[in-house]
Amino acid sequence: MTLSKASPRQLIHTRSIACHGYQRQDGLWDIEATLTDTKSYSFANRDRDGIAAGEPIQLMRIRLTLDDDLVVLAAEAATDASPFTICGDIAPKFSALLGLQIGPGWRRAMNARFKGVAGCTHLTELLLGPVATTALQTIAGARAKRMQDRHDGRPPAVIDTCHALSGDGPIVKREWPAFYRGDK
């Protein structure tokens, strides 16, 4: 199913987010994300002597290096374009991600470290959603293999993480019947 036909309109703002997950030769994982905001019109800006239509208002990047358990071993942020020259000064603060694990408590940890003036809204948004999801998707195969190799009787961690993977749904019944909680 697709969206319905839109009413006549004019493009004003575009936010593009690109995320890439890499397996490194040393067995670790790099997750990189780029956020780019553009406008369809030019406008005044004191710090940059104006911003032209299509020119990035924000162009921000972040890279996390993770282990198989989604623990942050290295973190780097960069601001290549922003509406204020001071924006990039916050980038080193993102080294505070070291030692954190993507999973339960990730959102709380981001808010504790980077909320308000302690961080950058755009970089924090990347970390909360796209980067965390990309990390999970990138490392999922390795984690699934490790979980498959263990024989401790614990259910796969993905069960009950979304509608499709409900513990009483058809996917769990098919893929992990021992952990299916619906009518048998």
User: pLDDT digit string (tens) for 116-162?
Assistant: 999 999 999 999 999 999 999 999 877 776 666 556 777 877 788 88
Question: Would residue 77 count as lying in a domain?
Answer: yes
Domain presence at residue 19: yes
DSSP 12: -
In a domain, 3, yes or no: no
Give domain status of residue 29, yes or no: yes
With beta carbons less than 8 A apart as the criterion, state whether 57 and 84 touch: no
Give tens-digit pLDDT for 25-64. Answer: 999 999 999 999 999 999 999 999 999 999 999 999 999 9
Looking at the structure, do residues 28 and 117 belong to the same domain, yes or no? Answer: yes
Specify if 35 maps to a domain: yes
- Domain assignment present for residue 7? The answer is no
User: Is the same domain home to 86 and 125?
Assistant: yes
Q: What is the pTM of this model?
A: 0.82
Residue 150: per-residue pLDDT: 59
Structurally, the chain folds into a number of domains equal to 2
User: Does 30 reside within a domain?
Assistant: yes
